[in-house]
Amino acid sequence: MGKKYLMESYTRFDVNFEKGIGTKLYDIEGKEYLDFVAGVAVNCLGHCHPAIVKALDEQSKKLIHVSNLYWTPTQTELAKKLIQYSDHDTVFFCNSGTEANETAIKMARKYGKLTGDAEKYEIITMENSFHGRTLGSLSITGQTKYQKDFMPLMGGVSSVRFNDIDDLQKKISEKTCAVIIEPIQGEGGIIKADETFLVEANKLCKEYNALLIFDEVQCGIGRSGDLFAYQSFGVVPDIVCLAKGLGGGFPIGAVLANEKASIFKPGDHGCTFGGNPLGCAVSLAVFKELIENGVLEGVKEKEQLFKAEIEKLMLQYNFIKKIDGKGLMLGIHLEVEAKKIVGKAFEKGLLIIGAGKNIVRIVPPLNITTDEIKKGLEILQEIFKEVKSELELA
């Protein structure tokens, strides 16, 4: 194990994975695991998908990196795809979700300076949100537990209660340059935004000449059942931040902006590896599988299967309170600690993760089969049965 050599920034399971195929992972002892984590909503096509392997192989033999001082065909083609399928005008490429959100912060701050004055710099975020761990993205994250050891953070940030339009109305002002929202909160507990909240937030941003930013790092790229999560809610933001599923396992992030928000000039921002030929080639392969080869079409149907089966389990186990989320970004809300469920699942060969203290997060590959969903649900039912017995004996 690497405990001796790696910084202790993660609490890791006692397992060492060496191979993955589709929705299955195999440790160094050969034990098989069914993966409902997918690299935390990253491996949208599962592990070692042939299209991704082929893209890596073919592009790595041609060109890996040249920097953004030059044009490359794969970067241009990927940017064109993102614009073609979205409601936006320009793209900035980076490597991760945190970087995408950092980019959006800078865009918002510059927009405020250009359209207002020196005082138009405030960014409004949502309570219980999560936008990353670098200092800028951490500053707009609405969870003190991630922030407390790194104070003081970036100023000019205020928070409002998620889905509370009255609270937003009270706090937005002429000083506001942007409002950032996760259409489906991830680390905050898999809680989807109310459509009316997003509609009204959009109206307020227009009224106060502020940018509306959607953090779709986890909920975008097909995860919600639509290619972009904003399409699931019928509200088009000025800026969309993407990563995770965009590369299907290869590091790549992107920021989409409409004409109003496209205010960067040379020197304003940069990213050494952003949009490198290799990452863009992989992302193009992901797009082809999702859109042209039909993976995206099956996501909403799989969502309904998950929800229907969990709702049946709710009738048997009163500690299951509800299932929230959209597409294949789902959260089972419990009255017991998620950690207990996650641990038992790991022992039985099912990988799941928590999202907050009492929510089990389900984010499998988007191309998971119906049989694999049913197998995972059978394991969950076994676990819930065990938990019920333990609660009755307590």
pLDDT per residue as tens, the chain (394 positions) = 678 899 988 889 999 999 999 999 999 999 999 999 999 999 999 999 999 999 999 999 999 999 999 999 999 999 999 999 999 999 999 999 999 999 999 999 999 999 988 899 999 999 999 999 999 999 999 999 999 999 999 999 999 999 999 999 999 999 999 999 999 999 999 999 999 999 999 999 999 999 999 999 999 999 999 999 999 999 999 999 999 999 999 999 999 999 999 999 999 999 999 999 999 999 999 999 999 999 999 999 999 999 999 999 999 999 999 999 999 999 999 999 999 999 999 999 999 999 989 999 999 999 999 999 999 999 999 999 999 998 888 6
Rounded Cα distance between 344 and 87, Å, is: 43
At 343, list the tokens.
């641990």
Describe the strand order of the beta sheet including 350-351 as a list of residue ranges. Answer: 17-21, 24-27, 32-35, 350-351
Domain ranges across the chain: 17-48+296-393, 51-292
The torsion angles phi and psi of 154, rounded to 5 degrees, stand at -60, 135
CATH of 17-48+296-393, one of 3.40.50.2300, 1.20.1260.10, 3.90.1150.10, 3.50.50.60: 3.90.1150.10
**Which residue(s) pair with 333 in the sheet?**
322, 359
Q: Do domains 17-48+296-393 and 51-292 have the same CATH topology?
A: no
The CATH T-level fold of domain 51-292 is Aspartate Aminotransferase; domain 2 (3.40.640)
Burial 87-122, CB ≥16 within 10 A → b, else e:
ebebbbbbbbbbbbbbbbbbbbbbbbeeebeeebbb
Q: Which candidate, 55, 329, 355, places its Cα nearest to that of 216?
A: 329
**300 close to 327: Cβ distance less than 8 angstroms:** yes
Structure tokens at 237: 């933001």
